[in-house]
Amino acid sequence: MSEDKRSIELTRIAENHYRATAPSGASIEFGRGEGLMTPVELLLAAVAGCSSIDVDTVTSRHTEPTRFDVSAQADKIDEDGASRVDNVHLDFNLDFPDDEDGRKADARVEKLVGLSHDKYCTVSRTVEHPTNVNFSIHRA
Protein backbone atom coordinates (compact mmCIF):
# COMPACT_ATOMS: atom_id res chain seq x y z
CA MET A 1 0.00 0.00 0.00
CA SER A 2 1.48 3.36 -1.00
CA GLU A 3 0.98 6.65 0.77
CA ASP A 4 0.24 9.72 -1.33
CA LYS A 5 -1.25 12.46 0.83
CA ARG A 6 -4.08 14.67 -0.47
CA SER A 7 -5.32 17.80 1.25
CA ILE A 8 -7.52 20.88 1.11
CA GLU A 9 -7.86 23.95 3.32
CA LEU A 10 -11.36 25.07 4.30
CA THR A 11 -12.25 28.67 5.18
CA ARG A 12 -15.56 30.00 6.49
CA ILE A 13 -16.88 32.79 4.24
CA ALA A 14 -20.11 33.40 6.16
CA GLU A 15 -22.60 31.38 8.19
CA ASN A 16 -23.00 28.00 6.40
CA HIS A 17 -20.82 29.22 3.48
CA TYR A 18 -17.32 27.81 3.00
CA ARG A 19 -14.46 27.77 0.50
CA ALA A 20 -12.29 24.68 0.03
CA THR A 21 -8.91 25.38 -1.57
CA ALA A 22 -6.55 22.78 -2.98
CA PRO A 23 -2.75 23.10 -2.89
CA SER A 24 -2.94 24.02 -6.60
CA GLY A 25 -4.99 27.10 -5.70
CA ALA A 26 -8.20 25.74 -7.23
CA SER A 27 -11.20 26.39 -5.00
CA ILE A 28 -14.91 25.75 -4.71
CA GLU A 29 -17.51 27.40 -2.51
CA PHE A 30 -20.26 25.33 -0.91
CA GLY A 31 -22.49 25.14 2.14
CA ARG A 32 -26.13 25.58 2.86
CA GLY A 33 -28.16 28.24 1.12
CA GLU A 34 -29.18 29.60 -2.25
CA GLY A 35 -26.64 29.02 -4.99
CA LEU A 36 -24.49 26.67 -2.91
CA MET A 37 -24.00 22.93 -3.28
CA THR A 38 -24.29 21.03 -0.01
CA PRO A 39 -21.47 18.76 1.17
CA VAL A 40 -23.54 15.69 0.19
CA GLU A 41 -24.05 17.12 -3.31
CA LEU A 42 -20.29 17.69 -3.49
CA LEU A 43 -19.75 14.05 -2.50
CA LEU A 44 -22.04 12.93 -5.34
CA ALA A 45 -20.24 15.30 -7.72
CA ALA A 46 -16.91 13.84 -6.60
CA VAL A 47 -18.06 10.26 -7.25
CA ALA A 48 -19.51 11.20 -10.66
CA GLY A 49 -16.52 13.35 -11.54
CA CYS A 50 -13.98 10.70 -10.60
CA SER A 51 -15.60 8.03 -12.76
CA SER A 52 -16.21 10.53 -15.56
CA ILE A 53 -12.50 11.36 -15.70
CA ASP A 54 -11.69 7.63 -15.92
CA VAL A 55 -14.10 7.12 -18.84
CA ASP A 56 -13.41 10.43 -20.60
CA THR A 57 -9.63 10.04 -20.53
CA VAL A 58 -9.74 6.82 -22.54
CA THR A 59 -12.70 7.47 -24.85
CA SER A 60 -11.36 10.91 -25.81
CA ARG A 61 -8.27 9.23 -27.22
CA HIS A 62 -10.56 7.95 -29.98
CA THR A 63 -12.95 10.88 -30.46
CA GLU A 64 -14.77 13.72 -28.75
CA PRO A 65 -18.16 12.71 -27.33
CA THR A 66 -21.25 14.41 -28.73
CA ARG A 67 -22.86 13.96 -25.30
CA PHE A 68 -21.24 13.25 -21.95
CA ASP A 69 -23.65 13.65 -19.05
CA VAL A 70 -23.57 11.79 -15.76
CA SER A 71 -26.13 12.03 -12.99
CA ALA A 72 -25.61 10.77 -9.45
CA GLN A 73 -28.27 9.89 -6.92
CA ALA A 74 -28.20 8.48 -3.40
CA ASP A 75 -30.62 7.70 -0.62
CA LYS A 76 -30.21 9.73 2.56
CA ILE A 77 -30.52 7.38 5.50
CA ASP A 78 -31.32 8.34 9.11
CA GLU A 79 -30.11 5.78 11.63
CA ASP A 80 -31.38 6.85 15.06
CA GLY A 81 -30.55 10.49 14.37
CA ALA A 82 -27.25 9.80 12.60
CA SER A 83 -27.39 10.43 8.86
CA ARG A 84 -25.45 9.05 5.92
CA VAL A 85 -26.07 8.22 2.26
CA ASP A 86 -26.42 4.77 0.72
CA ASN A 87 -27.21 3.27 -2.67
CA VAL A 88 -25.16 5.76 -4.68
CA HIS A 89 -26.01 5.30 -8.35
CA LEU A 90 -24.36 6.88 -11.40
CA ASP A 91 -26.23 7.11 -14.70
CA PHE A 92 -23.95 7.68 -17.70
CA ASN A 93 -25.56 9.24 -20.79
CA LEU A 94 -22.93 9.14 -23.50
CA ASP A 95 -23.02 9.52 -27.26
CA PHE A 96 -20.20 9.47 -29.77
CA PRO A 97 -20.04 10.31 -33.47
CA ASP A 98 -21.42 7.66 -35.81
CA ASP A 99 -18.07 6.82 -37.37
CA GLU A 100 -15.28 4.30 -36.79
CA ASP A 101 -13.63 6.29 -33.98
CA GLY A 102 -16.97 6.91 -32.29
CA ARG A 103 -17.84 3.22 -32.40
CA LYS A 104 -14.40 2.37 -30.90
CA ALA A 105 -14.99 4.80 -28.05
CA ASP A 106 -18.52 3.55 -27.48
CA ALA A 107 -17.38 -0.08 -27.45
CA ARG A 108 -15.07 0.66 -24.50
CA VAL A 109 -17.56 2.44 -22.26
CA GLU A 110 -19.00 -0.55 -20.40
CA LYS A 111 -15.56 -1.94 -19.56
CA LEU A 112 -14.26 1.51 -18.56
CA VAL A 113 -17.19 2.16 -16.22
CA GLY A 114 -16.58 -1.25 -14.62
CA LEU A 115 -12.85 -0.61 -14.22
CA SER A 116 -13.55 2.80 -12.73
CA HIS A 117 -15.89 1.25 -10.18
CA ASP A 118 -13.72 -1.76 -9.38
CA LYS A 119 -10.24 -0.26 -9.49
CA TYR A 120 -9.56 3.33 -10.51
CA CYS A 121 -12.07 5.75 -8.97
CA THR A 122 -10.54 6.69 -5.62
CA VAL A 123 -13.71 8.48 -4.52
CA SER A 124 -16.24 5.69 -5.07
CA ARG A 125 -13.83 3.07 -3.73
CA THR A 126 -13.36 5.19 -0.59
CA VAL A 127 -17.12 5.53 -0.13
CA GLU A 128 -17.58 1.77 -0.52
CA HIS A 129 -14.84 0.75 1.93
CA PRO A 130 -14.51 1.49 5.61
CA THR A 131 -12.45 4.67 5.87
CA ASN A 132 -10.92 6.13 9.00
CA VAL A 133 -11.90 9.74 9.65
CA ASN A 134 -10.21 11.47 12.58
CA PHE A 135 -10.63 14.93 14.06
CA SER A 136 -8.39 17.27 16.02
CA ILE A 137 -9.28 20.67 17.45
CA HIS A 138 -6.89 23.62 17.79
CA ARG A 139 -7.60 26.92 19.53
CA ALA A 140 -5.65 30.17 19.38
Helix/strand/coil for 21: strand
Q: Long-range contacts made by residues 99-104, C-beta under 8 angstroms, separation at least 24?
A: 99/63, 101/62, 101/63, 102/62, 102/63, 102/66, 104/62, 104/63
Among 62, 71, 72, smallest CA distance to 96 is for 62
Q: What is the pLDDT of residue 100?
A: 97
Structure pTM?
Answer: 0.91
Q: What is the pLDDT of residue 112?
A: 97
Among 74, 107, 77, 72, smallest CA distance to 92 is for 72
Q: What is the pLDDT of residue 3?
A: 78
pLDDT tens, residue by residue, 81-123: 999 999 999 999 999 999 999 999 999 999 999 999 999 999 9
Looking at CATH, the fold of the domain delimited by 38-128 is given as GMP Synthetase; Chain A, domain 3 (3.30.300)
CATH 3.30.300.20 residue ranges in the chain? Answer: 38-128
